[in-house]
Amino acid sequence: VISPLIALMKDQTDALSANGIPATFLNSSIDARTTVQRLDGLDAHRYKLLYVAPERLALAGFLAHLEGWNLEQIAVDEAHCVSEWGHDFRPEYRQIAKLRERYPMVPMLALTATATDRVRQDIERFLQLRNPHYFVSSFNRPNLRYSVFDKRDAAKQLVAYVQARGKESGIVYGQSRQTAEDLAAKLSAAGVRARPYHAGLSAAERARNQELFIRDEVQVICATIAFGMGIDKPNVRFVAHYDIPKNLEGYYQETGRAGRDGLPSECALFFNGGDAAKQRHFITQIEDEHERAQAQTRLREMLDFAASAYCRRVHLLRYFGEPAQAADCGNCDNCLVPPERIDATVAAQKLLSCVYRIRSRSGFSVGSHHVVDVLFGESTDKVLKWGHDRLPIFGIGSEYSKNEWLSFVSELLALGCLEQEAPYRTLALTEEGRTALRERRTFVFAKPKTVEPLKKSRKGRTGSQSIASGDGDLFESLRRLRKELADERGVPPYVVFSDVTLREFASQRPHSKAAFRAISGVGDIKLETYGEIFIDAISRYAE
């Protein structure tokens, strides 16, 4: 298995070995002596599965060693890394094609949680897959609640948000290393057990903070995007983005670290126009024109999601090419608290006219943010370069903010009056839009709303289990017992039992081994190892 994460390799090989499947890994975290021992074990065919990083394929002698190891299958994890359109492009991943050339008959499996059609095509091409079968599961995570909050006094908002979630585990993503450090310090000062995680820390400190988080010693990790890939901690109850991510794939993958046990979990994005401006500034520093254009396209897609007044789940599913089952998911901020509707007839006419006039003058279409700049009267370099400051619609939209104009763009896209043309998702007027402009059609749009992320809410459909308030104390008691047992055995708490299973214990209160064994997550080995301990704890609580 070719995988990028050291922690993933260790956790997975430990889990496999514990279940009787001999597995090992090779990476930079182990010393030379251990490396030699593992190579000897591979030469002696003592292992059935090996994890390596893609960079190891380039090391002298590795492919020669591989010749004697009876390679039967290749699995490539995080396969989106081969694509420039993937959210975490890594050129080293394309070296994996060497294995295809040397072992043309060995089956290869490529796996990723986030791949649009374009990325899937790149995976097939760069890994040289031959007539592959595609297995695409749903991108819908019904237990996750998506919310976008207006970012004002952001640090205080974040502290209040985390405190409202009690002792639950969470991840906070920030744009920079300094942000991760500052947020961890602010949360710690507010009584929340928090640690930073970023590439500027030593490998030992990163590993320590991650281990503390996995073992529930630390409640919140404040991190850059360096954290999380391959972290299989099932009871992360919230993922908060303090800064807007660079693209929707990254956002989806990072939010997907919440609620892997299927229980209700939350995904919070703190956003304002200043964040978008910062990201655009960073993009202008990219020297390669092709790379810069790609980054701009990805950011526009992310901003469209943040500004949308419609169901956020539907927005995500459509982005990944999956049809939504309904227009209302009942578990995002826009569905739970629908925004106020306003008469936007004049605004729609201005927007449609602006798109039409820019195309008529220049002979090409532009993106939604450029259209908004023209309406807002912003004399950007591109606006001046193309003479769009001389259009009669320049500056006629100052009555709305840029975010409000972007939400209106989303409305007109949803109504089919505008469309986004490939490859850069530039705005174009549809025949429906031309008709609406000629007929001066009436429009009613959603007014962008401000949401205070201070209180924890469990309203709406979650598609997963909940716990009755009367069982909460027992759940917390069992969680403490689980932690003690996990510490004694030197394993993460979820290896003992998941939160889902603990909630079942708290709800059903099994008093016999038969009842205990009947609960999901309890097998014969766990019944033998933990059954009496937990049954006794439940009985004492009941008494």
Query: pLDDT category, 464, cuts 50, 70, 90?
Result: very low
Q: By mean pLDDT, which of 193-197, 263-267, 523-527 is the weakest?
A: 523-527
Predicted pLDDT at 180 = 95
Predicted pLDDT at 325 = 78
Is residue 145 a contact partner of residue 460, using CB atoms and an 8 Å limit?
A: yes
CA distance 26 to 429: 55
* Other CB atoms within 10 A of residue 66 CB: 18
Predicted pLDDT at 2 = 67
* Other CB atoms within 10 A of residue 196 CB: 26
Please compute the mean of the pLDDT values over residues 106-116 and round it to a whole number. Answer: 87
pLDDT tens for 321-380 read 888 778 789 999 999 988 777 899 999 999 999 999 999 999 999 988 899 999 999 999
| pLDDT, averaged across the chain | 85
Q: Which helix (H) or strand (E) holds 238?
A: strand 236-241
Query: pLDDT category, 414, cuts 50, 70, 90?
Result: low
Predicted pLDDT at 151 = 80
CA distance 519 to 505: 8
pLDDT tens for 121-137 read 899 999 999 889 999 88
Beta-strand relationship, 108-110 and 169-173: unpaired
Q: By mean pLDDT, which of 162-166, 260-264, 281-285 is the weakest?
A: 281-285
Predicted pLDDT at 218 = 94
**Contacts for 366 with CB less than 8 Å, ≥ 6 apart:** 358, 382, 426, 427
Q: By mean pLDDT, which of 250-264, 378-392, 397-411 is the weakest?
A: 397-411
pLDDT at 463 over 70: no
CA distance 375 to 1: 52
Please compute the mean of the pLDDT values over residues 139-148 and round it to a whole number. Answer: 93
Please compute the mean of the pLDDT values over residues 80-90 and round it to a whole number. Answer: 76
pLDDT at 181 over 90: yes
pLDDT at 457 over 60: no
Predicted pLDDT at 106 = 92
CA distance 282 to 291: 12
CA distance 318 to 332: 16
pLDDT tens for 9-49 read 666 776 666 667 788 888 777 888 988 998 999 999 999 89
Predicted pLDDT at 137 = 85
Predicted pLDDT at 449 = 52
**Contacts for 418 with CB less than 8 Å, ≥ 6 apart:** 351, 352, 355, 409, 412, 427, 428, 429, 430, 433
Please compute the mean of the pLDDT values over residues 416-431 and round it to a whole number. Answer: 83
Give SS3 for 271: strand
Predicted pLDDT at 470 = 46
Please compute the mean of the pLDDT values over residues 202-222 and round it to a whole number. Answer: 91
* Other CB atoms within 10 A of residue 214 CB: 21
